[in-house]
Chains A and B, each alone.
Chain A
Amino acid sequence: MSNSLFLMIAKRIGLGFFTLLAISLLITVGVEALSGDICTAILGQMASEETVAACHARLDLDRPVMVRYVEWLVNFVQGDMGRSMANDRTVMELVSARIGNTLYLAAFSSMVAIPLGIALGVVAALYRNTGFDRGISVTTLSTISVPDFFVAYILMALFAVKFSIFPAISNVAGSMGFWERAYVSALPVLTLTLISIAHLMRMTRASIVNLLASPYIEMAKLKGIKPGRVIVKHALPNAWAPIIQVVILNIAFMVVGVVIIEVVFVYPGLGALMVDSVQLRNMPVVQATAMIFASAYVLLNLLADVLAILANPRLRHRR
């Protein structure tokens, strides 16, 4: 088993690199397709042609885009992410200042959303087609049916403006203590939780409902096993594989999907950095953040698949 598992992991990592390459190309083409470049973005529309030309020359933007891309790629592969075009700081410096904040937000939201989502899913499966089940479904579905930023603004209007419980701007800083940090980031966490819990809850519910119809659950009932034990001993061990998949995809979403949330709450994370950089057409920073987001997604997906295999007793205990 370990052999085939390692082979699969190796294959997937190889494919992952290919994905990253494709994404970097897409980003290059995409940013290039936007009107203007960093010089027009910084200098504004009023700038004279000479100033813009001088800016182009200083930033080496006169060369064809593919040449610049290949150069970036060669450097990137060697671990050099280049320098920001806007302020000449290294991309590494910019990114490392922000990545911790984004991971903190993802971890914090996951810790709230995942246990809650799974628990709600199990309860909804047990009491399926009751008022509770429907209520939960309607609530969670409505939170994912509206756009992320809308949920964010509603929460802000409610908890920051109307009741002033939490701050509207989540400007965390390194100097903050644990509680202060948690307090300041409460609204982004709540938003992320609300928009991800529906997936978690519905997938958990679906996989448990599916399992509850299987012959070995009927067998357990006919052995006179109590309902709680049927769930914990007979359903859950077999439900892990699908649930793990959703959980990890959600963690990936928490890392990657924060872009808009960060902007709304002015949260100093990678997503906000990316959005700022796209506005400035700051290619090296856009590329670096895109690569980080994409790798996180690829790696977490791989992790999900590996865990799903490990969770399957048929694969764990071979004949």
Chain B
Amino acid sequence: MTDQLLEMNDVLIEADIDGHWKPIVNHLSMTLKRGEIIGLIGESGAGKSTFGLCALGYTKPGCRIASGSIKLDGVELVGQPESALRKIRGNKVAYVAQSAAASFNPAHTLLEQFSEAPVQHGKMKTSEAAVRGRELYRQLDLPEPDTIGERYPHQVSGGQLQRAMTAMALGSNPDIIIFDEPTTALDVTTQIEVLSAIKEAVKARNVAGIYITHDLAVVAQMADRIMVLRYGDLIEEGNAREMLANPREDYTRRLLAVRNLREHKIHGDGINVLLEVKEVTARYPGTKIDVLQDISVKVEKGKTVAVVGESGSGKSTLARVITGLLPPSAGQVIFKGESLPASLKEKSKENLRSIQMIYQMADVAMNPRQRIREIIGRPLEFYLGKTGDENEARVHELLKQIEIPDHYIDRFPAQLSGGEKQRICIARALAAEPELIICDEVTSALDQLVAEGILDLLQNLQNELNISYLFITHDLATVKAIADDIVVMYQGGIVEQGPKQQILDPPYEDYTELLLSSVPEMDPDWMDGLVERRRRGEAPTAETLRQR
């Protein structure tokens, strides 16, 4: 047995793109010692998941390991038949996927799925596996560890599922666990709970880990060593603490820098209130729970109000009420001094024009069969009656405004990158010459550097056109960068609201403090310190808030 548990050498992985094999992992190497955690960092398309997964001797369908060597405990995996690789997977090397909700089989209980790997690999009997499952559930702080295993995946929450999946990976005592963005889909407050539970369980067993993520601050908490990847190439590799303190490469520095989005606002006049949501209560048809309770929010002209909260806090429902998709059961929405009709049907074209929306998924918000010309030109024609050359000229003008090359006008959405698509959506909203744009998690689906560009653009447009934004987001870094006022929502109510400085500076409201403190920081000791403080009762936890 060598000192290195895993040795990957000069690995080349290719993907079948339109019938040609193109490299997506370009001759990368990695070593991993027992008990060590290595972080793979990069934006989408960096090849980090592909590279991580090949430690299982596995590639996604349509990919192949073209050359290189992958040695696990001195045994070469490349070229082994599937039957031999199966004996390793879920046994010596285990996998934790990004979306636990999709990666648990909906037809079986948690414990059935937990027991499967150890039993099938002949390590335990079913009864022994059940005992071990309950033990691991307890260690990962799952509620009711003795019975939670009898539940089906849809019966537990996202954060709990993610922990159950970590338990499942630990089930057969693997040497290595591959974590593929395990907390990306979770709320910040849940993320820290899951992260610390994972870290503790992994450290306690001296399991080695490959931690794949796009979030440097998260990896800072977990990893001993970091590899920064881009387009399948290695950018930089080194000790986590050293790299965070002294990044050598420009790209790493830029990844680090996005956390501190710069602020460059020219403040709007802020005298007149553009939109006022007044004592609104709303529920979805056929339900008995008010998802919004007595909400009042004001948006001033040329300013940005950020609505912050976790999933289920009601922030997107608020947008639906303002646009008229969900008529409120009480209260009203006042726009420029006049009460807006509650339902979409009763709204005038002018009402519709003056409030536009930009969505999280630019992909599905555009008709894939329309060219950019039609996508942006349609609101020009519909709201402003612009046709022909006038329409075309305005589309060109808008493209310039969103910093998209002129010749893109003939492209289809599928020919654009994620950030470019979101820019087109912004142009489409601008085409209607609105006074208010509701931005619903517009940067959540984008890579950090791209998201930064979008936020910059939105800010420039505001400075130029004096538009107001209602910015719905769960990401506090975005809020810090773009908001004038902040509204913090929790379980359908407003926890607090006010100017940014007042909300983000101490003294904090408890829930706001929980949110703020849960945002991962680059400091590798951040999480351990915070967990310790929470344990001593010096910082609020989600648990204590829920109990209220």
Contacts and interface: CB of A to CB of B under 8 A. Distances in A.
Interface of A: 213-216, 218-226, 229, 233-234, 237-238, 313-314, 317, 319
Interface stretch (B6-14, B89-97, B208-216, B378-386): B89-97
Contact of B106 (A224, A225, A226, A313): A313
Given A313-B152, A314-B154, A224 B90 contact: yes
B469 interface: no
Interface string B65-108: 00000000000000000000111111100110101001111111
Given A237-B107, A317-B155, A319-B155, A222 B102 contact: no
Contact of A224 (B61, B87, B105, B108): B87
Contacts of B107: 234, 237-238, 313
A226 B121 CA distance: 10
B415 interface: no
Interface string B149-178: 001101100000000000010000000000
A22 to B, nearest CB: 29
Given A214-B102, A216-B102, A225 B97 contact: no
B424 to A, nearest CB: 29
Question: Which has the most chain A C-beta neighbours within 10 Å: B87, B99, B116?
Answer: B116
A88 B61 CA distance: 68
A215 B86 contact: no
Contacts of B86: 224-226
Nearest to B120: A225
Contacts of A226: 86, 120
Interface string B32-61: 000000000000000000000100101001
Contact of B105 (A213, A222, A234): A234
B308 interface: no
13 contacts: A215-B97, A219-B103, A219-B104, A219-B105, A222-B90, A223-B90, A223-B94, A224-B120, A225-B86, A237-B107, A237-B108, A238-B107, A317-B151
A81 B151 CA distance: 53
Given A218-B97, A221-B89, A224-B91, 17 more contacts: A216-B103, A216-B104, A218-B103, A219-B95, A222-B94, A223-B95, A223-B116, A224-B86, A224-B89, A224-B121, A225-B116, A225-B117, A233-B108, A237-B105, A237-B108, A238-B107, A319-B154
A62 B94 CA distance: 82
A59 to B, nearest CB: 54
Nearest to B90: A223
B56 A220 contact: no
Contacts of B94: 222-223
A229 B152 CA distance: 20
Interface in B500-526: none
Contact of B89 (A215, A223, A319): A223
A311 B102 CA distance: 18
Interface residues of B, number: 31
A238 B106 contact: yes
A214 B99 CA distance: 11
A233 B107 CA distance: 9
Contacts of B151: 317
A186 to B, nearest CB: 39
A80 B507 CA distance: 83
A313 B107 CA distance: 6
Contact of A215 (B91, B102, B108, B117): B102
A219 B113 CA distance: 10
A294 to B, nearest CB: 32
B153 to A, nearest CB: 9
Contacts of A233: 108, 116
Contacts of A229: 120
Interface in B193-245: none
A314 B85 CA distance: 33
A161 B358 CA distance: 70
Interface in B106-155: 106-108, 116-117, 120-121, 151-152, 154-155
Question: Which has the most chain A C-beta neighbours within 10 Å: B61, B103, B151?
Answer: B103
Contacts of B117: 223-225
A319 B151 CA distance: 9
B152 A221 contact: no
A225 B102 CA distance: 18
A7 to B, nearest CB: 12
A317 B107 CA distance: 10
A317 B109 CA distance: 10
B155 A238 contact: no
A205 B61 CA distance: 18
Of all A-B residue pairs in the complex, the 7 with the closest CB atoms, nearest first, are: A223-B90, A224-B89, A237-B107, A224-B90, A215-B102, A222-B95, A223-B117
A6 B425 CA distance: 44
A221 B60 CA distance: 11
Nearest to B58: A222
Nearest to B56: A222
Question: Which has the most chain B C-beta neighbours within 10 Å: A215, A216, A225, A238?
Answer: A216
Contacts of B155: 317, 319
Interface in B283-336: none
Contacts of B108: 233, 237
Nearest to B178: A222
B97 to A, nearest CB: 6
A253 to B, nearest CB: 28
A308 to B, nearest CB: 14
Contacts of A238: 105-107
A74 to B, nearest CB: 39
B160 to A, nearest CB: 13
Contacts of B97: 215, 218-219
Nearest to A239: B107
Contact of A317 (B87, B116, B152): B152
Interface string B242-268: 000000000000000000000000000
Contacts of B104: 216, 219
